[in-house]
Amino acid sequence: MMLAPNAPPTPMSEPLEDYLETIYLLVQEHGFARVKDIAKARGVKAATVSIALRKLSEAELVNYVRREYIGVTKKGEEAARRILTRHRLLTRFFEEVLGMSPHAAGEQACAMEHSLTDEAMDRMVRFFEFLGTCPSVVKAFGQCPAGARPGDEHPCGVSSPECARCSLNPQEASMSIASLKPGQSAIVTQITATGALRQRLLDMGILPETAVDVERSGPGGHPLWIRCQGARLALRRAEASNILVRRAS
Amino acid sequence: MMLAPNAPPTPMSEPLEDYLETIYLLVQEHGFARVKDIAKARGVKAATVSIALRKLSEAELVNYVRREYIGVTKKGEEAARRILTRHRLLTRFFEEVLGMSPHAAGEQACAMEHSLTDEAMDRMVRFFEFLGTCPSVVKAFGQCPAGARPGDEHPCGVSSPECARCSLNPQEASMSIASLKPGQSAIVTQITATGALRQRLLDMGILPETAVDVERSGPGGHPLWIRCQGARLALRRAEASNILVRRAS
DNA sequence: CATCATCGTTAGAGAAGACTAACAAATTTT
DNA sequence: AAAATTTGTTAGTCTTCTCTAACGATGATG
């Protein structure tokens, strides 16, 4: 299976990863990124950002000529999305599973996003895939009163009829993204790929419960263009068939 | 409620926290800690450890005279146990919940232990308390084949008879550690305390599924001495009654 | 068009953490 | 007891990230 060789990303320092992430987000949100805004977002002085930009530029992660437009390169975009995906995944864990506030969950995710290994990320995604099809688990946890003592009445008996996976029409449930038509939207439910391909798809931001829009879908060997988390991605059909979705409701 | 004022621990840098943690573990394991061993454990040169020791000493976290015995102060022990408890908690999550190998789980925990907030820790402990009484959840996740597709046959329907909490004899299930006799051992199942007391108990290493041994248990107002994770702790009865245990099997 | 405010850059400094090299102290061998 | 090895310390250097201060460049305004 011919794949982009999954270039071992040059190890980047945490601050630099943060700058790259910030720049990516600013460009996505406002169409441009200024030194001043980056500095404000990261809580540092402009001078510090200037230096960081030079380093990111040397590493070919951002396109940038002194005093001019700041853009993220192809390579930089990949790295930024990699971090951002980890951020999203961790935030969801702290928010949806542990029940923290969006703000606290985001802060916690920020602190941990740099050190989440590929393996841990993979497992966490599987956990979400599992929870997504058996949501009664998290529900039971959420309803379980915090201070409850053993023996207390509480709703921990979850029954399988609630299990979305079991009660789903298999035809509908196992739809792959490759079977969608241009213009259609869907929600990722599961990534069935394994190994390097799985990691690559995850790094691109394809996580369970992520919205994807199909933009172009050629027949046969043509790639599938999708939008996911604000970015355009091209997938081969062999890759796309490993992404299961449900139609957006 | 008169409590140790829960001194806002002087913010310590990550490397220093790591040194302190290492020293604590070495002392606990071998009875002493040498510069050489600390350096080896942390993967740095002895010279670097020397400097770190001076800083830890200035912060009154370790007792240490040049070229002499290296010991951890009371204050240092508290800080070390705080980190170590986070380490244990995260390791358990990656190992028991996500199913990673002990080694990979430990590495991942190491990287994250410094940034786990009090709130996230609290919520995570609650999650474990929940899982401890409803183990079928993790079991179902573990058995759910990784690549399974929706519609596949799989064991996600967990029934409440498996719920330990529901089927436990309430009398036995809600035993507090305060009701144990000297010499008896038990496993923590739940910490019912809230707020600062809860945080303090957690920081001392009292987590669900942790073994505790009662050493001395005076009647009435006398404190309860327990061993937990290799350390001796003195608890007031009011504190101890907030720790629920089951007898060690 | 001249002036002024804003924005970005450079230069210089400082803290933290690590390293190497040289040296001092302690322990073990011979 | 002397020599050799091991262990720990100090001094000096390097890198990374941050800051302040001073200085250009850009663009808006009177």
pLDDT tens track for B153-184:
444 444 434 444 444 454 556 789 999 999 99
**B211 closest CA partner among B174, B165, B248, B168:** B248
B75's tokens: 């204050």
- CB < 8 Å to B174, chain A: 149-151
Contacts of B98 in chain A (CB under 8 A): 120, 123-124, 126-127
Report the pLDDT averaged over residues A152-178.
Answer: 53
Q: How far, in Å, CA of A72 to CA of A77, rounded? A: 6
Q: Number of C-alpha atoms within 13 angstroms, CB side, residue B163?
A: 23
pLDDT at B154: 42
Q: pLDDT class for B43, splitting at 50, 70, 90?
A: very high
Q: Which domains does chain A have, with CATH numbers?
A: 12-116 (1.10.10.10), 170-247 (2.30.30.90)
Which residues in chain B have Cβ-Cβ distances shorter than 8 Å to A150? 133, 165, 168, 170, 173-174, 189-190, 244
Within 8 A of B86 by CB-CB distance, chain A residues are none
Q: Which of A165, A172, A189 to mutate to test the interface with B (most CBs of B within 10 A)?
A: A165
Least confident of A158-167, B126-135, B189-198: A158-167
Q: pLDDT value at position A6?
A: 43
Work out the mean pLDDT of chain B and round it to a whole number.
83
At A159 the pLDDT is 40
Model confidence over A72-112: pLDDT tens digits? 999 999 999 999 999 999 999 999 888 899 999 999 999 99
* Residue A150 to residue B244, Cβ atoms within 8 A: yes
CA of B156 to C1' of C30 (A): 71
Is a pLDDT exceeding 50 seen at residue A149? no
Of B104, B117, B244, the CB nearest to A119: B104
Check pLDDT > 60 for residue B146.
no
Q: To which residue do tokens 């449930």 refer?
A: A173
Query: Looking at strand D, which nucleotides approach a protein CB closer than 7 A?
Result: 7-12, 16-22, 25-26
Asked whether the beta carbons of residue A151 and residue B173 sit closer than 8 angstroms, the reply is yes
For an interface test with A, the pick among B101, B110, B128, B141 (most A C-beta atoms closer than 10 Å) comes out as: B141
- Residue B23: both structure tokens together: 């020293």
Going by pLDDT thresholds of 50, 70 and 90, the confidence category of residue B226 is very high
Neighbour count for residue A47 (Cβ, 10 Å): 10
Residue A172 has pLDDT above 80, yes or no: no
| SS3 labels along A60-121 | CCEEECCCCCEEECHHHHHHHHHHHHHHHHHHHHHHHHCCCCHHHHHHHHHHHCCCCCHHHH
- Strand D atom within 7 Å of A149 CB: no
State the smallest CA–CA distance between residue A57 and chain B in angstroms.
28
Confidence at residue A68, expressed as pLDDT on a 0 to 100 scale: 84
